[in-house]
Structure 1
């Protein structure tokens, strides 16, 4: 029988064998907010891994950092794209189809190197471990008898947060504890929030923008949904949503990216002069300390004129060109400066988006095993999502 009091003194010794440096910074930040962050020896293991992430990539390869070497030989992280019924992987020669799925994926997020996916209409919830190359069935959220709209998912540590738009004026929120294997209903967002963008930063969940219902839209009587600039945060220990500084412009269906303590949002749609249009706006916000639950004001990141035409596909941050696809921003080594032309950006965009179907639902980034390891080919190891 599980005896927490007897086993707890051995936690540090057990955790010393866990390769925390292989986890992403968001996951490590989330672990600091759990009970592990309260035990000094465990906290030091997490901080050790966070220090490893502070080094540039080229330096990481040349230092012998504790708990940073994978037990299995892995390829560099690969981009996976999920369309209506297919899975694609990005290779040096472009996108290649891997498998045909048996269900359309509505939301996905990676924790460590495990992918968690929610199929559309909440028909199934699954996880995928590239080492084992197996999809595992997981329990569905409670009260799942209806068809929620546009689910969105992010993670804080080992907890997944799922926001589901419904036909009501509010959106339902659930939390899945990976360690416990259980779902918990959380307080709802105070607004209808289909097409909301979720981001996890500094142990806090950010719900950015989305759509809100308004009446009298465009001189009509029928209720419509338009993009909003509202931002709400959820700090797990407080178990409540709090409104923080709104974005400068409305956003829906946008892509969020977290770098350190900065959140960027780009793409999607905006609402201007009574019209819903494609957004050419990139905004950023530096998140505050988790204790205060406050965020600094959002500011607009100026975009070069050469990328305005490609705002739904390209965002420029610190001269780096990021390609927007499936809810992720991908930097592929391209830079934009005053000499870059629209033709250059068009060529960049084409080289990244070629061969991939237009309707990409979600993207995820995983480290895939090298060819021959665990019997899994590197470029075609992912099996289709079972029904």
Structure 2
């Protein structure tokens, strides 16, 4: 029977038992109900949701907990015997630990009382209350015990909250202890933050008692990190020796193992003699490490065979990169960008005095020299000097020849300006600047005219690689010996390269990118290929290519890696930056420049130069 018929029948029965004098009579009412349709012919549904139902239900359960009604288990804290009643269902819903305990085949699943070893009673009560309310109080005096208990009971949100609380308390005096605690509790996020804090504030950390109390394995783990924020490897050596001398009798036997973690080849020879050798004594293993470092300094031509983890600098000891000027979408960048390898970040450090294109740069002490180029209208012979400490510019002695597209390098003490274009013709002339007399003088000219060649110093000689001679791009290479004042030809590259980037690493010369357009055809073929020159065999070989084609790319050695910056791919001025590892023959991507630019110049600046950022 349907609802309509049921209603009609029920109404008729009930009315017939009452008075028959109602309006319309019982028959009329019955007839009216029988015609009434309560629903349309289509099917309808409604999903009702009571707002706050879950919260209200949990609050009711909490009241039952407070009055100990319907509780079906008692948790006993092994630390002090405190008894905490609870409901298995609520605990299982909030914690995977309790869910596994009560729903599995464990012995505790049916026991009315369960003892939890090494659990604090007050914290146990707080954790149980959290299962009902979702709130818990975190304080300095309970956070460590609470975090350990939350880890045990797999209360992920509580673990995260405690980790954030401890991360906010990090200080050079406690970060090592927090890191050890986080590792013990398997709190990866807190461990990562504590280690990052320790690395950043390393110089303050080593002044605290926690550092001196580290175990041999703990200090070994700390000193092996390449993330430590130190200006020099000297800081690492002094930190190690302070730890050794805190308990010399028991710790000196560990010195040979721990000294391996100090990158001795990156220390100055004078420091090795005056400090390291005097302090480490005559231990043969330590002396072997000192000898390895000395060979690194003395036998530079053999460095490619001596590369190890000790010759790879920590990020903070690299200093910074400065990228200067270049052509951008506004027809000339005037900013100098600075790269910080610790945070993989570029920022604006300085501004040039004006637009200058196709120039050369060099670093002499804390002075950045910008040489020649063109201002968009005319070729220049001027040389400007930026004092990196004060951020001020001054004019120095001009070159004898106006040059743009020149190559610049420091060989010994003097600065060399190689080739280029004077606004009328391609040049093979070379002149040398003496920083003592502050004067320019010509040296022997190259055998070829070269503009936009790559220029670098390798094994005490000046190399000029590729470039353009007016008719075409060049494959040829020549090198200058300052002792004989002569240029000699070397093996040619496999490709013609104008706008080539050149840098030196581990006794090899590298040529990056470039283009080979003939003078009468501006449609250049741009390159992503990289060639390596071995002066020992006077030969070139091809290594792993760049990730993108780059003409007029800026390159330099930064630490033990070669960095390729910006350039032009035929359509765009590039912001992209990548670094090459000569040992693994692999490229990795670094943070992009703030401004895409081609024909920029780059120079590494070590930590002894206090670069003052002159930002926007």
**TM-score bracket for the superposition, by shorter chain length:** 0.5 to 0.7
Aligned match of 1:139: 397
CA separation of 1:234 and 1:314: change in aligned 2, threshold 3 A: closer
Q: Of 393, 406, 409, which residue of structure 2 is paired with 1:151?
A: 406
Unaligned stretches of 5+ in structure 1? Answer: 1-19, 24-46, 63-73, 215-225, 289-294, 371-375
Aligned match of 2:462: 205
Whether the 8 Å CA contact 2:410–2:457 is kept in 1: the answer is yes
Aligned match of 1:50: 297
What is the deviation of 1:61? 10
SS of equivalent to 2:475: coil
Whether the 8 Å CA contact 2:418–2:430 is kept in 1: the answer is yes
Q: Of 493, 516, 525, which residue of structure 2 is paired with 1:277?
A: 525
Unaligned stretches of 5+ in structure 2? Answer: 1-266, 271-293, 326-332, 374-378, 568-576
Aligned match of 1:103: 354
What is the deviation of 1:78? 0.6
What is the deviation of 1:132? 5.3
What is the deviation of 1:190? 2.8
Q: Of 331, 334, 337, which residue of structure 2 is paired with 1:88?
A: 337
What is the deviation of 1:104? 3.5
Q: Which has the higher helix share?
A: 2
What is the deviation of 1:333? 7.9
5 Å-filtered alignment, 1:109-188, equals 109-120=362-373, 121-131=379-389, 133-142=391-400, 144=401, 147-166=402-421, 167-168=424-425, 170-188=427-445
5 Å-filtered alignment, 1:1-387, equals 21=268, 50-51=297-298, 59=310, 76-83=318-325, 84-91=333-340, 92=343, 94-105=345-356, 106-120=359-373, 121-131=379-389, 133-142=391-400, 144=401, 147-166=402-421, 167-168=424-425, 170-214=427-471, 226-270=472-516, 276-288=524-536, 296-303=538-545, 307=546, 309-310=548-549, 322-325=562-565, 331=579, 349=589, 351-359=590-598, 361-368=600-607, 380-381=612-613
Aligned match of 2:137: none
Whether the 8 Å CA contact 1:326–1:363 is kept in 2: the answer is no
In structure 1, what is the Cα distance between the partners aligned to 2:442 and 2:418? 11
In structure 2, what is the Cα distance between the partners aligned to 1:174 and 1:269? 26
Deviating more after overlay: 99-108 vs 51-60: 51-60
In structure 1, what is the Cα distance between the partners aligned to 2:497 and 2:430? 20
What is the deviation of 1:79? 0.8
CA RMSD in angstroms comes to 4.2
In structure 1, what is the Cα distance between the partners aligned to 2:593 and 2:540? 33
What is the deviation of 1:366? 0.7
Q: Which has the higher strand share?
A: 1
In structure 2, what is the Cα distance between the partners aligned to 1:178 and 1:283? 33
Q: Tell which structure's C-alpha radius of gyration is larger.
A: 2
SS of equivalent to 1:50: helix
Whether the 8 Å CA contact 1:109–1:364 is kept in 2: the answer is yes
Whether the 8 Å CA contact 2:372–2:404 is kept in 1: the answer is no
Whether the 8 Å CA contact 1:75–1:369 is kept in 2: the answer is no
- CA-to-partner distance for each residue in 1:265-288, whole Å, 9 max, x for gaps? 11111369x973101221111124
In structure 2, what is the Cα distance between the partners aligned to 1:357 and 1:286? 32
SS of equivalent to 1:238: coil
- CA-to-partner distance for each residue in 1:21-57, whole Å, 9 max, x for gaps? 399xxxxxxxxxxxxxxxxxxxxxxx88924986879
SS of equivalent to 1:249: coil
